A and B are shown apart, each in its own frame.
Chain A
Amino acid sequence: MKRVDVLVGQIPLATLLVLGATMSVLSEHFLTPLNLSNVLVQSAVISVVAMGMTFVILAGGFDLSVGSTVALAGCVAAAVMMQAGIVAGVGAGVAIGALVGALNGFVVTVLRVNPFITTLGTMVLVRGAVFLFSDSQQVPIEGSLPQGFIDFGVERFLGIHWLVWVPVVLLAALSWVLGKTPYGRAVYATGGNREAAYLSGIRTGWIVASTYVWSGALAGVAGVMLASRLQSGQPTAGEFYELTAIAAVVLGGAALHGGEGRLYKTVIGVFIMVVLGNGLNLLNVDSHWQRVAVGLVIIAAAAADQLRHRR
């Protein structure tokens, strides 16, 4: 029984390795330094979003609003940056994300609205707000963002893009928070059995709300990163990020009902999604078939989740 669990725990990594091996056989370009660097950069933004999603799902919730929040944070960060400089812009982007998260947390825990409906609402609401805020145009429409901010999206440190260092540092720090602090245990316990956690003296309302704030703030960080990569705030940015992030969390083997899952495995899940898309692009596979492939992978992961919990 135990041995089976250990094997099941390695399914995400094994999937990624098999996928990578397959792609490198099919395309000579896959295993080149240039492409691997592309894969890292393409994964960076969505990894940060998916980490926030992991917090929410671990505590038994769900967050559909992250994609819209990415766009809002990017546009707000860009607009503030044009007026008040890089630091203020980045701060504003992250703060507006945290604010959206706090709103989600409030509605879910205080008004007790189902998380799916709540975040579906904020997803639509925030997307509308972005278009109002940006007048449906990129930010800024004239001139360009500060050079230092644009450089951040292009330059490298130790041969690796600055953008990639962000999720690396966040992964280390947040894994520590989830795995090593009492707060992290409380998050897991709340998702594993909310009643039990409550009766153990954990303020489960605060814990659940806090995970939405994490998710919103991290979506804010991702929005700022994306603005740096796109050298502008884009109101259309981040579309379908919520679905990719949820798929990555599931691919990483977390339980959709909460209480089980690891942050680094979510990142592996992100890599599975990105490598799949990147590899199929390199092979110039028809975009319709790409959708079919991604859909199948998500269903397979969800089915694996079911099989694991049926035992």
Chain B
Amino acid sequence: MRKLLPLLALVCAMPFAPALAQKTTIGVSLPQDDNPFYIAMLRGIRSRAQELGMDVVTVSSQEDKARQINGVQDLLARGVKGILISPIDATGVNAAYDAAARAGIPIISVARGSTSPNQTLHVAMDEKQIGRDIGGRIAREIGKGKVALIAGPPGAPTFKNLTDGIKESFATHGGIAVAFEQYGALTRERGLKLAEDALTANPDLAAIYAANDDVALGASQAVVAAGRKGKVFVTGMNGIPPALRAVKDGSLGLTVELNPVTWGRLGVDMLADYLKGKKYDQRVFIRHELVDAKNIDTKLK
């Protein structure tokens, strides 16, 4: 065993040794590996990093906070120059930020953010504003009536902020009642099932807000099955291709394009600027765009 140890160490170090010697390496820790949104974001990070001549190492966390903290510590141990993180929630992985601060390494939150004072900066989407925009669009569409909210996982501040923004805008319009509100997983099946129940409990439902496109596509299916296509306005978010097609054929009222690829690129740019010593803001918002029947043709190529 003792003879094997040096050999083992050599084998482990080999793939990384040249990289560390030559280029700036940045570390990336995202909440999920298998979510299309984060896959696209990582694609953006990698392409921008390549353009800037940086190397990227990733660690996976699969929505497990302890794993994310450990992952960040591993990145620090490897000597990365900066970290891009999308924290699983706003407080649960603060230890990762503390560790980065102790090592004197910048740590930038992308998409999801943290309350940690050690967060260098946050490349965010303006969740409240997106919520207000969706809510305003729903209000203009239906005038008055009942709305169902099929929100995202409980505990994630993003989804809370979105629904808060929506409710805020409903309050300014008046005449709109939230008749149904449930938090849970972001799957198409759940969107379908909850929309079925919401439509049964409220036959006069006028709109359904869904937390993302998968949920929205499920909900729109329930609307079509209930024979109420065109009468119930369904909204999604993220702008994945099947959702864009659904907007085109009218079964989905709108989706919000966030473009995770640009998001990832912006994160790398902010980190590069920081490393060069440029001035920065604590919070940078990524642009968002509502996609509906009016502008859908520009989005579908």
Q: Which residues of A contact B (CB under 8 A)?
A: 27, 29, 32, 34-35, 38, 41-42, 131, 136-138, 141-142, 154, 226, 229-232, 234-237, 239, 277-278, 281-284, 287-288
Contact = CB atoms under 8 A, between A and B. Distances in A.
B218 A230 contact: yes
A237 B200 CA distance: 23
A273 to B, nearest CB: 12
A281 B198 contact: yes
B182 interface: yes
19 contacts: A27-B201, A32-B200, A131-B33, A131-B34, A136-B34, A141-B241, A229-B189, A229-B192, A230-B218, A234-B188, A236-B187, A236-B188, A237-B188, A237-B189, A278-B197, A281-B180, A281-B182, A282-B200, A287-B182
A235 B188 contact: no
A38 B185 CA distance: 20
Contact of A136 (B39, B196, B198, B200): B39
B232 to A, nearest CB: 15
A229 B184 CA distance: 20
B201 A38 contact: no
A68 to B, nearest CB: 12
Interface string B249-277: 00000000000000000000000000000
A142 B241 contact: yes
Interface of B: 33-36, 39, 154, 179-189, 192-194, 196-198, 200-201, 214, 218, 221, 225-226, 240-242
Contacts of A226: 189
A178 to B, nearest CB: 29
Nearest to B222: A38
A282 B201 contact: yes
Contacts of A35: 200
Contact of B197 (A142, A235, A281, A288): A281
Contacts of B33: 131
Nearest to B242: A138
Nearest to A132: B34
Given A34-B226, A137-B240, A284-B182, 11 more contacts: A32-B200, A131-B33, A141-B242, A236-B187, A282-B200, A283-B201, A284-B179, A284-B201, A287-B154, A287-B184, A288-B154
A38 B214 CA distance: 20
Nearest to A41: B196
A69 B214 CA distance: 20
Nearest to A136: B34
B182 A239 contact: no
A154 B225 contact: yes
Contacts of A136: 34-36, 39
Contacts of B214: 138, 234, 236
Contacts, number: 77
A27 B200 CA distance: 11
Contacts of B242: 138, 141, 232
Nearest to B193: A42
A57 B34 CA distance: 31
B34 A235 contact: yes
A232 B187 CA distance: 12
Nearest to A137: B36
Contacts of A131: 33-34
A38 B197 contact: yes
Q: Which of B35, B193, B214 has its CB near the most chain A CB atoms (within 10 A)?
A: B193
A234 B179 contact: no
Nearest to A138: B242
Given A137-B36, A142-B241, A38 B196 contact: yes
A144 B194 CA distance: 23
A287 B183 contact: yes
A284 B200 contact: no
Given A131-B34, A136-B39, A138-B242, A230 B188 contact: yes
Contacts of A281: 180, 182, 194, 197-198, 201
Q: Which 7 A-B pairs have the closest CB atoms?
A: A281-B197, A131-B34, A282-B201, A35-B200, A236-B187, A38-B196, A136-B34
A34 B189 CA distance: 19
A35 B183 CA distance: 21
A266 to B, nearest CB: 20
B36 A284 contact: no
Contacts of A138: 188, 214, 242
A239 B197 contact: no
Contacts of B201: 27, 29, 281-284
Contacts of A278: 197
Contacts of B226: 34
A186 to B, nearest CB: 36
A231 B34 contact: no
